[in-house]
Amino acid sequence: MKAVLLIDFGSTYTKLTAVDLDSETILGTAQSFTTIQTDINDGLENGLALLREKIGDVSFAETYACSSAAGGLRMVTSGLVPELTGEAAKMASLGAGAKVVGIYAFQLTEDDLDDIRAAKPDIFLLVGGTDGGNTECILHNARMLATMNPEFPIVVAGNRSAARECERILQGHEVYVCPNVMPKFGVLQVEPTQKKIREIFLNRIIQAKGLSKAAALLSDIMMPTPAAVLAAMDLLAQGKGDEPGIGELVAVDVGGATTDVYSIADGMPEHMNTVFKGIPEPFAKRTVEGDIGMRYSIRGILEAAGVHRISQLSGLEEGRVEELVDYLATHTDVVPKEDPELEALDFALASMAIEEAVTRHAGAIEETYTMMGLTYVQTGKNLTKVKQIVVTGGSLIHTKRTAAIAKHALYSPASPASLRPKNADVWVDRTYILAAMGLLSAHYPETALRIMKKELEYHGNSEQENS
């Protein structure tokens, strides 16, 4: 037996997964509270003790880890035009596994600098202008950042004509220059920037968040947890070598504070009379809805869906919905535990969290008339043909109605412009292995893929599931 330990240092829980590479099976899983306020290794040791109670005193040949502890990788971005370089910067940050806590367009102001200081980012991504285009904005923003004596590293990935000048303006600070995230209109080049962001996460952020002792135990580098999940989803969709994937997919992780959505799909227009508007989105895309969560951001779900819709889905009176939402917003550790009202409310909240988050993630289409007649304009990704949905998160794992919740990721006639999947099979990560498999995929991709295909709970077509 060749055992490997995979660790996910979360903000609340440290989750451990032990895998036997020889048999390609999961030996066991365990979790304990993350002890970031004292010593993160205390939580790790507690988790290891629980794991060993299940699997015995196993010796691990290799250990890998990811982390979203202490707020994860927090980033702020600034670009020129919001829909172009600004959006490219956001995609680069999210794809690297970051939590974007500030997005700015055009020239930074003194008020913006105050907000940036308050946000306390781990990394600032400075972009703007295509190569050979506008240099005024990115140079202005570099000068503004220089005045605030930033304690965070700055990654410059904008107009190549201004990149080195930005570096000189920011001399004395930690600055990294990468290729432009949008060298031409409509062309994305985010991979070099994402690689640099992950390097900074390893070299600087781990130490800043008290993870250096834990990192010393690892066989290889640590990465942000969302980057590990994105790697797992990419592998599950596309396969590796002789092991096929399950095809294009959408994945949703409904958490207490945020809802993450991943799509591994081309997403371009299918018909000749459809015109694509905006920048092409990456095949492997991640978005984060910071106002959509089951506890800390519970009011965001209520505001997005409306109390009437939550009442309809839960069967509770609107006044009772308001009362329970107020209660859960201040008692964030409460789980339903066979309380019929809370179970009904969580069902409705999780359903609406998925519906809202996937709607924001997916593209949209609208009709327009031209000299050639009726034409359609698509923005964002067309996910209508995606046939697989993967879901995780406490509200979906600890319920028998997972597939009924997941079907809210699908297209609805009530929102005809949304390009969500029309029908899909549902896969449930009931044992929280996605981040672990993303870690494993960096070294043993085919093994990680086979384990996911065995361990993810298959629910069949979500349109046919009613319970």
- Classify residue 147 by burial, with Cβ atoms within 10 Å: 0-12, 13-18, 19+: exposed
Q: Are residues 42 and 157 in the same domain?
A: no
Residue 314 included in any domain: no
The whole-number pLDDT of residue 274 equals: 87
Q: What is the mean pLDDT of the chain?
A: 88
Q: Are residues 267 and 196 in the same domain?
A: no
Residue 326 included in any domain: no
Distance, in Å, from the CA atom of 397 to the CA atom of 187, rounded to the nearest integer, reads: 39
Helix spans in 279-339 (H): 298-305, 307-314, 318-330
Residue 308 included in any domain: no
Q: Is the pLDDT of residue 52 over 70?
A: yes
Residue where a domain terminates, one of 221, 253, 281: 221
The whole-number pLDDT of residue 198 equals: 82
The whole-number pLDDT of residue 71 equals: 58
For residues 442-456, give the mean pLDDT: 95
Question: Any idea what the CATH number is for the domain that residue 187 is in?
Answer: 3.40.50.2300
Instruction: Give the pLDDT confidence of 84-142 residue by residue, as tens digits.
Output: 778 888 888 888 778 888 999 999 999 999 999 999 998 999 999 899 999 999 999 99
Instruction: Give the pLDDT confidence of 142-186 residue by residue, as tens digits.
Output: 999 999 988 899 999 999 999 999 999 999 899 999 999 989 887
Residue 45 contacts by C-beta under 8 Å, 6 or more apart in sequence?
A: none
The whole-number pLDDT of residue 464 equals: 45
Residue 366 included in any domain: yes
Distance, in Å, from the CA atom of 310 to the CA atom of 302, rounded to the nearest integer, reads: 7
Residue 338 included in any domain: no
Q: Are residues 50 and 196 in the same domain?
A: no
Q: Which two tokens stand for residue 442?
A: 């960096």
Q: Are residues 125 and 185 in the same domain?
A: yes
Q: Is the pLDDT of residue 248 over 60?
A: yes
Name residue, tokens 């390609």: 24
Residue where a domain terminates, one of 195, 221, 247: 221
The whole-number pLDDT of residue 84 equals: 78
Q: Is the pLDDT of residue 83 over 80?
A: no
Interstrand relation of 154-156 and 123-126 (parallel, antiparallel or unpaired): parallel
The whole-number pLDDT of residue 125 equals: 95
Q: Alpha carbon of 207 to those of 7, 197, 214, 272: distances in Å?
A: 17, 15, 10, 52
Q: Are residues 24 and 168 in the same domain?
A: no
Torsional sign, CA 198, 202, 204, 206: positive
Distance, in Å, from the CA atom of 5 to the CA atom of 334, rounded to the nearest integer, reads: 30
Residue 331 included in any domain: no
Interstrand relation of 74-79 and 99-105 (parallel, antiparallel or unpaired): parallel
Determine which helix (DSSP H) or strand (DSSP E) holds 111, and give its type and residue range: helix 110-119
Percentage, residues of the chain above pLDDT 90: 55
For residues 18-31, give the mean pLDDT: 93
Distance, in Å, from the CA atom of 368 to the CA atom of 370, rounded to the nearest integer, reads: 7
Distance, in Å, from the CA atom of 277 to the CA atom of 103, rounded to the nearest integer, reads: 21
The whole-number pLDDT of residue 208 equals: 56
Greatest mean pLDDT among 10-14, 78-82, 243-247 lies in: 243-247
Q: Is the pLDDT of residue 197 over 70?
A: yes
Residue 259 included in any domain: yes
Distance, in Å, from the CA atom of 386 to the CA atom of 366, rounded to the nearest integer, reads: 20
DSSP secondary structure string, 382-426?
--TT--EEEEESHHHHT-S-HHHHHGGGS--TTSTTB---SS-EE
pTM for the whole thing?
A: 0.84
For residues 248-252, give the mean pLDDT: 97
Question: First CA to last CA across the chain, in angstroms?
Answer: 40
Residue where a domain terminates, one of 168, 193, 221: 221
Interstrand relation of 249-254 and 388-392 (parallel, antiparallel or unpaired): parallel
Total tally of structural domains belonging to the chain: 3
Q: Are residues 424 and 394 in the same domain?
A: yes
Determine how many CB atoms are found less than 10 A away from the CB of residue 117. Answer: 12
For residues 405-419, give the mean pLDDT: 93
Distance, in Å, from the CA atom of 9 to the CA atom of 66, rounded to the nearest integer, reads: 6
Q: Are residues 16 and 78 in the same domain?
A: no
Lowest mean pLDDT: which of 207-211, 219-223, 307-311, 459-463?
A: 207-211
> In a 3-state reduction of DSSP, which class is residue 130?
coil
Q: Are residues 435 and 365 in the same domain?
A: yes
Q: Which domain holds residue 122?
A: 73-204
- Classify residue 353 by burial, with Cβ atoms within 10 Å: 0-12, 13-18, 19+: buried
Q: Are residues 10 and 155 in the same domain?
A: no
Residue 352 included in any domain: no
Instruction: Give the pLDDT confidence of 264-304 residue by residue, as tens digits.
Output: 999 989 888 888 887 788 899 998 888 888 888 899 999 99
Percentage, residues of the chain above pLDDT 70: 92
Q: Are residues 144 and 284 in the same domain?
A: no
Q: Which two tokens stand for residue 124?
A: 């600032």
Lowest mean pLDDT: which of 32-36, 163-167, 250-254?
A: 32-36
Q: Which two tokens stand for residue 313?
A: 């889905």
Q: Are residues 146 and 266 in the same domain?
A: no
- Compare 397 and 370 and report the one with higher pLDDT: 397
Asked if 419 and 395 touch (Cβ cutoff 8 Å), the reply is: no
Q: Are residues 398 and 284 in the same domain?
A: yes
Q: What is the dihedral of CA 7, 10, 12, 18, to 10 degrees?
A: -20
The whole-number pLDDT of residue 97 equals: 78
Distance, in Å, from the CA atom of 112 to the CA atom of 118, rounded to the nearest integer, reads: 10
Question: Any idea what the CATH number is for the domain that residue 51 is in?
Answer: 3.30.420.40
Closest CA to 81 of 354, 238, 269, 278: 278
Amino acid occupying residue 94: L
